[in-house]
A and B are shown apart, each in its own frame.
Chain A
Amino acid sequence: MRGILLVTVLVPLTATTLAAQGGSPLQQRLDRQTFEAVRAIMDSARAYSVPTGPLADKALEGAAKHVPAARILAAVRQLRNELADARGLLRAGAPGAPLGTEEIVAAADAQRRGVPAADVTQLRHDVPTATSLVVPLTVLGDLIQRGVPADQARGVIEQLVTAGVSAQQIADVPSRMDVGLKVGAPPLDALRSASPIPLHPLPPTRPGATPPVPNRGPGHSL
């Protein structure tokens, strides 16, 4: 009886203490108007099954960097649109396949770094749906940033995935490629040297494919 009494005393105390911690980080770091506006953008994203976590992160990032509210909202809105696009591209590549937030974020990020929409969809179509696209998409963006034509870069990624190369090894390819680039090797040669497996001959760049960007080396974005 007394044990039950103890529980009835402890439970409300615990709940009250936890509730007192209150308030999401967004509420704490944004002014009320900005918070309400971000909330509205997140609501609209949720309605289209677009993940809202990255949107909240973007708003928090803007607040941390002391960005004016209007720019925070513009960035959050733009990210919502990018995520929605990325989700659509992945869905088009494998309708009905499970789709995680991380993959949508990686696809949006890859597009921002120059991966053409068609290659996002094609990669999802060609790679088994059981394989997460987070690493392949990110490395695809890295290769394109290093001057490899988009369709050839995707061909290399698909070869690596099909051959069963581990995600860690695929993730290491860009930094290994930088070794060749630093001594002046052309991007494709540097990529061949960096590959953990011998690569099959790559098809010629398709007409209209994204032309190679000038090699800017590691740590540079488009």
Chain B
Amino acid sequence: MNEELDMDSRDEARIERLVERLDRRPVTLRPGMRTAVMARIHAEPTSTGGRVWRWLSAPRVSPLAVGGLLAAAIAAFVLLRPSPVAPTGTPVATPLAAAPQTVPVRLVFLAPTASSVAVTGDFASWNPKGIPLAKTHNDGVWSVDLDLKPGLHHYVFIVDGTEWKPDPNATSQVDDGFGQKNSVLLVPQRSAS
């Protein structure tokens, strides 16, 4: 223990002696040295990409903060996005209220021999490819979970990409105006409770 203390005090004394020997006069550079160093730095070759990246990434004081930039980008998106336009070119009124709430709905279809099943309807803009159902069981049960706006929806299933079939489980069906049937799906508004 005492030996350790002796070693510490010896080290401290040595350090103090070294410090005393230090030349504490201010260092003066020879005239023109700073200019020469800066000239050498500017003369270093740099690629165009590197210069652009340095320009973009260099810290700087800007009148626009990051938040401001984001806000500007969002505002630009909202103002300049193509508004939904009716075929005549008349802009369609876009409701300012929040997007209507959606309700989860599961559609199920039994098609044991089908190799693919999809569903299309007004909620899918009658996309001819439809929204694919997944085969949930080996016994031919296909299903899909959708988030639909409350209201009345018309839909049909597309089996193997070609056969259009109404939903036998639907509460009701209506004529589609083309000599076929659409299934009717009523999605009630969710109560607040």
Hey, which bits of chain A sit against chain B, CB under 8 A?
1-4, 6-7, 10-11, 14-15, 18-19, 21-22, 24-27, 35-36, 38-39, 42-43, 46, 52, 54, 57-58, 60-65, 67, 71-72, 74-75, 78-79, 102, 105-106, 109, 112-113, 132, 134-135, 138-139, 141-142, 145, 166-168, 170-171, 174-175, 218-221
Assess A22 versus B82: contact at CB under 8 Å? Given A4-B63, A35-B87.
Answer: yes
Further pairs besides A7-B72, A74-B177, A134-B186: 6, Cβ < 8 Å: A2-B62, A6-B69, A11-B72, A57-B122, A65-B164, A170-B188
The yes or no answer to B94 lying at the interface (CB within 8 A) is: no
Given A102-B152, A218-B172, the answer on whether A19 and B82 have CB atoms closer than 8 Å is yes
- Bound CA–CA A35/B90 (angstroms): 15
Closest CB-CB distance, A73 to chain B, in whole Å? 11
When the two chains form the complex, which single residue of B62, B72, B125, B189 contacts A25, counting CB atoms closer than 8 Å? Answer: B125
Inside 8 A of A71's CB, which chain B residues have their CB? Answer: 178
Asked if A168 and B151 sit within 8 Å, CB to CB, the answer is no
Task: Find out whether the CB atom of B86 lies under 8 angstroms from the CB atom of A46.
Answer: yes
What B residues does A74 contact at CB under 8 A? 177
If A14-B76, A64-B128, A102-B152 touch, does A39 touch B172 (CB 8 Å cutoff)? no
Contact check, B188 vs A171: say whether CB atoms are below 8 A apart. Answer: yes
Which residue of the partner chain, among B55, B84, B173, contacts A219 with CB atoms under 8 Å? B173
**Contact A135–B125 (Cβ < 8 Å):** no
**Residue B73 at the chain A interface, CB threshold 8 Å:** yes
Among the listed A46, A65, A113, which residue makes an inter-chain contact with B90, where contact means beta carbons less than 8 Å apart?
A46
Contact A60 B126 (CB under 8 A): yes
Residues of B within 8 A of A145 (CB): 172
Which B residues fall within an 8 A CB radius of A? 55, 60, 62-64, 68-69, 72-73, 76-77, 80-82, 84-88, 90, 92, 120, 122, 125-128, 150-152, 154, 164, 166-178, 180-184, 186, 188-191
- Asked whether, in the complex, the Cβ of B171 is within 8 Å of the Cβ of A142, the reply is yes
- Give the secondary structure class of B's interface: loop
Instruction: Tell me if A's interface is mostly helix, strand, loop or mixed.
Output: helix
Known contacts A7-B69, A26-B87, A138-B186: does B178 contact A62 (CB below 8 Å)? yes
Q: Are A109 and B184 in contact (CB under 8 A)?
A: yes
> Are B122 and A168 touching (Cβ within 8 A)?
no
Question: Of A64, A135, A220, which one neighbours B127 at CB under 8 angstroms?
Answer: A64
Determine if B125 and A60 form an interchain contact, defined as CB atoms under 8 angstroms apart. yes
When distances are taken between beta carbons in the complex, the residues of chain B under 8 Å from A43 are 88
A-B contact pairs, 27 of them (CB 8 A): A1-B63, A2-B60, A7-B73, A11-B73, A11-B76, A15-B76, A18-B80, A39-B88, A42-B87, A52-B86, A65-B164, A65-B176, A65-B180, A74-B177, A78-B177, A79-B177, A102-B150, A105-B152, A109-B174, A132-B189, A138-B152, A218-B171, A219-B167, A219-B172, A219-B173, A221-B174, A221-B175
Q: Specify the chain B residue showing the minimal Cβ separation from A41.
A: B87
Contact of A3 among B64, B174, B180 (CB under 8 A): B64
Q: A15 vs B77: C-alpha distance in the bound complex, in angstroms?
A: 7
Chain B residues near A78 (CB-CB < 8 A): 177
Q: Are A221 and B181 touching (Cβ within 8 A)?
A: yes
B188 lies within 8 A of A168 (CB) = yes
Whether A112 contacts B126 by the Cβ 8 Å rule is no
Q: Which residue among B77, B120, B174, B178 has the maximum number of chain A CB atoms within 10 Å of its CB?
A: B178
In the complex, are the beta carbons of B87 and A39 less than 8 A apart?
Answer: yes
**Given A7-B76, A46-B86: A113 and B60 within 8 A (CB)?**
no
